[in-house]
């Protein structure tokens, strides 16, 4: 199910500016068809309040295009295969730099996995291994993330599993993708249900910032070293992706990005995301 | 997440004992002489030793099916279910004692024997099905107390219920393909890797499907004929693994299941999803078998009068000749049946009763109005024709063998009469 919405509200400022420049009948602008999920808050939401929705709207204006959000009610994990590659939309706002399924821009920001704890716990761990030394037993994480590996390596997975599956009502993941809501990661810590949340910082930054209970976000500074010697990075450059054969659109986006550098920084700062210097 | 069975005192509610399916022996409650007659089934230390790390703590093995009790052996019998998580690559090992037929002392809970049918399950063949008790002569002419269990995995097992000896293990249908045979001397299934569910392999036409060739149906035994009458699912599946990458080191490993009629059904029309069979557990022979449009989900009831009753998902209750399988009688009910018939006598008249009301796993599409064929782990696709044959509803139907209702003789029975006029 796809819903196509032009978010005029977000563009109110731009529309006024355009009316000034273009005298007489308005020219139909090219559209920027943005792949978006209705259920990926805080990244993307049906009302356009996701921070990636907001960056996308700015980007379209900078490209002199009209943003068209092509919404799906599926989770974003399905977007590249079922929507971008199927040419139902043309731009994915959240992608790792170098994601092999797409062409990606230079990084627009870099951040990493964080611990979220209550200030009054005074947790200072900054390594993926820090939880092994604690007596913590309840962890709120999202499934299929490096946080799963961290819990397993620390010997904290099994005793935490019933709690964690409870957050998704014990739904099976065969034939369906289920995920813990990002805001719940934070509320579980705030209300004492979890000792810690472990999450990619953009998942939780907004909710940490607005939490009525004082919370702390601590960046994890190292990489997970697996038993087979391979590493799992915990810090990632985030970029914008297009289809592999859509070089022209990538170039157009790349040319527009410097114009909205200030807007992007403002949106990320407002979100509360701890930023790192991009690596590439 | 970790299956167990618990005994409570019916008068005080006090817990008498609890026995887990996985974990340390003292928590599984193994008797000192556990599996002494069949040490090749495995004995001590395997509830943790057949798991990686602490995975046994969330290893599944829940027992949500039927229990049988024999006052003679003072043992009760039941099956533990499938291991968790479903993705087999995440739990290397046999995963004992999931998928196990248990014989436990009813007073202490201690297990006298345990036979694991499907070591390291990959298909969701939760081993909780009905346990049917009989006394029969084995092939050598010795009378033995037996336990017969048609499993989800498509094998019908018969054990000596005093010591756990494996007497027979036959395919419920010759289309079962994940296993070539079950070796009676080792108790082990000989697998066919083509029909495994690995993450690097799309499995096609795996029989049975995750629903099993036999699910929660409660079947029956005719001691005079030495026949078990079993309602069977004739459903197979495709199993396609996938790995979806996402940002920041995240990826989702899943599998998509499609279910459809087995090779003897009609794969164009999506009918022929069930069978009813008469089985001799000593010879391994099927005396008769018939196909059904949908699964014979609820199980059967045999009577001393030589009849076999069962309900169908499309809403019939049927009676067949126990010797030949010939269809003798049927009646259409308001909704499909997933329960089994029962019989009783009242004031000299014999009655047959059955709950009707389509539902359960086969009814998930009809009841919840789902159309995605992979929903309900593929059950929606397999049973997509069911909505054309029945509808939702629920109740109990009672039939008298003399064909009379309470009002046949006197239509005024039960009428309200005004007493003030």
Q: Which ipTM was obtained for this model?
A: 0.84
CATH number for B163 = 2.140.10.10
Whether A175 sits inside 8 A of B374 (CB atoms) is yes
- Residues B48-67: what's their mean pLDDT? 94
- Contacts of residues A119-123 at CB distance under 8 Å and 24 or more positions apart, as own/partner, are A119/A214, A119/A215, A119/A216, A120/A214, A121/A195, A121/A216, A123/A196, A123/A216, A123/A218
Contacts of B337 (CB under 8 A, 6+ apart): B297, B298, B311, B312, B313, B315, B316, B317, B354, B355, B356, B357, B358
Whether B58 sits inside 8 A of A158 (CB atoms) is yes
Lowest mean pLDDT among A97-111, B192-206, B224-238: B192-206
List the structure tokens of B189. 């299934």
Residue A1 has pLDDT above 50, yes or no: no
- First-to-last CA distance in chain A? 37
Q: What is the pLDDT of residue A177?
A: 85
Name the pLDDT band for A171 (thresholds 50, 70, 90).
confident
- Residues B113-136: what's their mean pLDDT? 97
Instruction: Check: CB of residue A69 under 8 Å from CB of residue A9.
Output: no
List the structure tokens of B249. 């080191």
Whether A159 sits inside 8 A of B57 (CB atoms) is yes
Q: Which of B249, B374, B378 sits opposite A145 (nearest CB)?
A: B249
- 3-class secondary structure, B402: coil
Instruction: Check: CB of residue B68 under 8 Å from CB of residue B78.
Output: yes
Per DSSP, what are the bridge partners of residue B136? B144
Residue of B nearest to A178 (CA): B252
- Residues B224-238: what's their mean pLDDT? 97
Q: What is the pLDDT of residues A218-247, one digit of tens each?
A: 999 999 988 888 999 999 999 999 999 999
User: For chain B, what is the mean pLDDT?
Assistant: 95
- 3-class secondary structure, B387: helix
CA A223/CA A221 separation, integer angstroms? 7
Q: What is the pLDDT of residue A228?
A: 86
Q: Which of A158, A175, A233 sits opposite B377 (nearest CB)?
A: A175
Instruction: Check: CB of residue A276 under 8 Å from CB of residue A107.
Output: no
Check residue A98 and report its DSSP letter.
T
Q: What is the pLDDT of residue B403?
A: 86
- Residues A172-197: what's their mean pLDDT? 91
Q: Which residue has the tokens 């817990």?
A: B15
Q: Which domain holds residue B23?
A: 4-216
Which residues of B are tagged catalytic? Answer: 124
Tell me if B68 is assigned to some domain. yes
List the structure tokens of B96. 């004992």
Identify residues of B whose CB sits under 8 angstroms from chain A CBs: 1, 53-55, 57-58, 86, 244-257, 374-375, 377-378
Name the pLDDT band for B87 (thresholds 50, 70, 90).
confident
List the structure tokens of B46. 């395997």
Tell me if B21 is assigned to some domain. yes
A122 in B contact zone (CB under 8 Å): no
Name the pLDDT band for B5 (thresholds 50, 70, 90).
very high
Name the pLDDT band for A19 (thresholds 50, 70, 90).
very low
Q: What is the pLDDT of residue A170?
A: 84
Tell me if B378 is assigned to some domain. no
HSE-CB at B281 with a 13 A cutoff on CA atoms is 33
Q: What is the pLDDT of residue A13?
A: 40
Q: What is the pLDDT of residue A117?
A: 98
- Residues B196-219: what's their mean pLDDT? 94
List the structure tokens of A173. 């993941």
Q: How many CB pairs under 8 A join A and B?
A: 78
Length of chain B measured in residues: 421
Mind telling me how many Å the CA of B371 is from chain A's nearest CA? 14
Residue A16 has pLDDT above 60, yes or no: no
Length of chain A measured in residues: 280
Q: What is the pLDDT of residues A145-163, one digit of tens each?
A: 999 999 999 999 999 999 9
Check residue B1 and report its DSSP letter.
-
Lowest mean pLDDT among A111-115, A116-120, B86-90, B398-402: B86-90
A190 in B contact zone (CB under 8 Å): no
User: For chain A, what is the mean pLDDT?
Assistant: 90
Q: Which residue has the tokens 């090992």?
A: B93
Contacts of B198 (CB under 8 A, 6+ apart): B88, B89, B122, B241
Q: What is the pLDDT of residue A174?
A: 66
Give percent above pLDDT 70 in chain A.
Answer: 89
- Higher-pLDDT residue of A154, A197: A197
Main-chain phi, psi angles of A100, to 5 degrees: -70, -15
The number of domains in chain B is 1
CA B287/CA B411 separation, integer angstroms? 45
A232 in B contact zone (CB under 8 Å): yes
A230 in B contact zone (CB under 8 Å): no
Contacts of A94 (CB under 8 A, 6+ apart): A43, A44, A52, A76, A238, B247
Instruction: Check: CB of residue B313 under 8 Å from CB of residue B362.
Output: yes
Q: What is the pLDDT of residue A22?
A: 43
- Higher-pLDDT residue of B218, B375: B218
List the structure tokens of B105. 């002392």
Q: What is the pLDDT of residue B198?
A: 84
CA A276/CA B352 separation, integer angstroms? 74
Whether B250 sits inside 8 A of A162 (CB atoms) is no
Residue A114 has pLDDT above 60, yes or no: yes
Whether B54 sits inside 8 A of A158 (CB atoms) is yes
Residue of A nearest to B58 (CA): A158
CA A128/CA B72 separation, integer angstroms? 58
Residues of B whose CB is below 8 A from A158: 53-55, 57-58
HSE-CB at B180 with a 13 A cutoff on CA atoms is 6
Q: What is the pLDDT of residues B368-416, one digit of tens each?
A: 888 889 888 899 999 999 999 999 999 999 999 888 888 999 999 999 9
Q: What is the pLDDT of residue B420?
A: 74
The full DSSP string for A209-239 is HH-SS-EEEEE--S-EE-TTS-EE-SEEEEE
Instruction: Check: CB of residue B131 under 8 Å from CB of residue B77.
Output: yes
Instruction: Check: CB of residue B363 under 8 Å from CB of residue B357.
Output: no
Residue A3 has pLDDT above 70, yes or no: no
CA B29/CA B9 separation, integer angstroms? 18
Which domains, and CATH codes, for chain A?
31-109+237-271 (3.40.190.10), 111-232 (3.40.190.10)
Tell me if B20 is assigned to some domain. yes
A158 in B contact zone (CB under 8 Å): yes
Name the pLDDT band for A173 (thresholds 50, 70, 90).
low
Name the pLDDT band for B242 (thresholds 50, 70, 90).
confident
Is the preceding omega at residue A42 within 30 degrees of 0, hence cis?
A: yes
- What b-and-e string marks burial along A99-137, b requiring 16 or more CB atoms within 10 Å of the CB? bebbbbbebbbbbbbbbbbbeeeebebeebebbeeeebe
- Residues B114-137: what's their mean pLDDT? 96
Lowest mean pLDDT among A170-174, B129-133, B227-231: A170-174
Residue B78 has pLDDT above 50, yes or no: yes
């Amino acid at each position: 199910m796809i819903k196509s919405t032009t978010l005029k509200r977000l563009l109110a400022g731009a529309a006024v500016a355009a009316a000034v420049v273009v005298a007489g009948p308005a020219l139909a602008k090219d559209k920027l068809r943005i792949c978006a999920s209705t259920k990926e808050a805080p990244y993307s939401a049906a009302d356009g309040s996701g921070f990636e929705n907001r960056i996308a709207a700015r980007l379209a204006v900078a490209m002199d295009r009209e943003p068209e959000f092509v919404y799906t009610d599926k989770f974003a994990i399905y977007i590249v295969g079922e929507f971008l590659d199927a040419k139902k939309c043309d731009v994915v706002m959240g992608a790792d730099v170098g994601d092999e399924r797409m062409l990606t821009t230079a990084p627009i920001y870099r951040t990493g996995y964080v611990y979220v704890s209550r200030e009054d716990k005074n947790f200072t761990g900054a390594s993926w291994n820090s939880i092994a030394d604690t007596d913590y037993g309840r962890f709120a994480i999202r499934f299929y993330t490096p946080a799963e590996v961290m819990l397993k390596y620390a010997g904290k997975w099994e005793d935490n599993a019933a709690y964690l599956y409870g957050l998704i009502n014990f739904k099976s993941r065969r034939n369906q993708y289920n995920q813990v809501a990002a805001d719940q990661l934070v509320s579980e810590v705030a209300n004492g249900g979890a000792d810690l949340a472990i999450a990619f910082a953009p998942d939780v930054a907004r909710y940490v910032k607005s939490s009525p209970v004082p919370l702390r976000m601590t960046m994890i500074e190292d990489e997970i070293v697996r038993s087979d010697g391979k590493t799992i990075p915990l810090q990632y450059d985030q970029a914008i992706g297009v289809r592999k054969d859509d070089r022209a659109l990538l170039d157009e986006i790349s040319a527009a990005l410097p114009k909205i550098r200030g807007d992007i920084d403002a949106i990320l700062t407002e979100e509360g995301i701890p930023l790192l210097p991009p690596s590439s | 997440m970790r299956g167990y069975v618990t005994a409570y005192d019916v008068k005080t509610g006090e817990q008498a004992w609890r026995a887990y399916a996985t974990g340390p022996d003292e928590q599984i409650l193994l008797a000192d002489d556990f599996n002494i007659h069949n040490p090749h089934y495995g004995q001590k230390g395997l509830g943790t030793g057949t798991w990686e790390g602490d995975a046994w703590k969330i290893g599944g093995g829940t027992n949500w099916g039927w229990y049988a009790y024999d006052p003679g052996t003072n043992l009760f019998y039941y099956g533990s279910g499938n291991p968790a998580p479903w993705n087999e690559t995440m739990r290397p090992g046999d995963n004992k004692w999931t998928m196990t037929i248990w014989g436990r002392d009813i007073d202490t809970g201690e297990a006298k024997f345990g036979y694991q049918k499907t070591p390291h399950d990959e298909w969701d063949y939760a081993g909780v099905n009905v346990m049917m008790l009989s006394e029969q002569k084995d092939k050598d002419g010795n009378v033995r107390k037996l336990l017969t269990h048609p499993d989800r995995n498509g094998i019908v097992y018969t054990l000596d219920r005093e010591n756990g000896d494996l007497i027979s293990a036959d395919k419920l249908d010759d289309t079962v393909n994940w296993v070539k045979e079950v070796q009676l001397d080792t108790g082990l299934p000989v697998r066919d890797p083509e029909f495994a569910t690995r993450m690097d392999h799309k499995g096609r036409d795996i029989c049975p499907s995750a629903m099993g060739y036999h699910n929660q149906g409660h079947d029956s035994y005719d001691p005079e004929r030495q026949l078990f009458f079993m309602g069977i699912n004739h459903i197979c599946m495709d199993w396609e693994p996938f790995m979806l990458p996402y940002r920041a080191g995240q990826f989702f490993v899943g599998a998509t299941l499609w279910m459809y009629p087995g090779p003897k059904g009609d794969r164009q029309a999506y009918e022929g999803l069930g069978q009813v069979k008469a089985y001799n557990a000593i010879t391994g022979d099927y005396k008769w078998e018939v196909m059904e449009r949908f699964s014979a989900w609820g199980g059967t009831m045999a009577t001393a009068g030589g009849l076999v009753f069962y309900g169908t998902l499309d809403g019939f209750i049927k009676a067949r000749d126990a010797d030949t399988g010939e269809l003798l009688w049927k009646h259409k009910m308001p909704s499909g049946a997933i329960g089994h018939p029962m019989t009783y006598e009242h004031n000299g008249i014999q009655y047959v009763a059955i709950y009707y009301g389509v539902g359960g796993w086969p009814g998930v599409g009809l009841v919840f109005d789902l159309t995605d064929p992979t929903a309900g782990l593929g059950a929606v696709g397999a049973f997509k024709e069911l909505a054309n044959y029945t509808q939702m509803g629920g109740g109990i139907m009672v039939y008298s063998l003399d064909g009379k209702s309470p009002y046949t003789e006197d239509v005024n029975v039960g009428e309200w009469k005004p007493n003030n006029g």
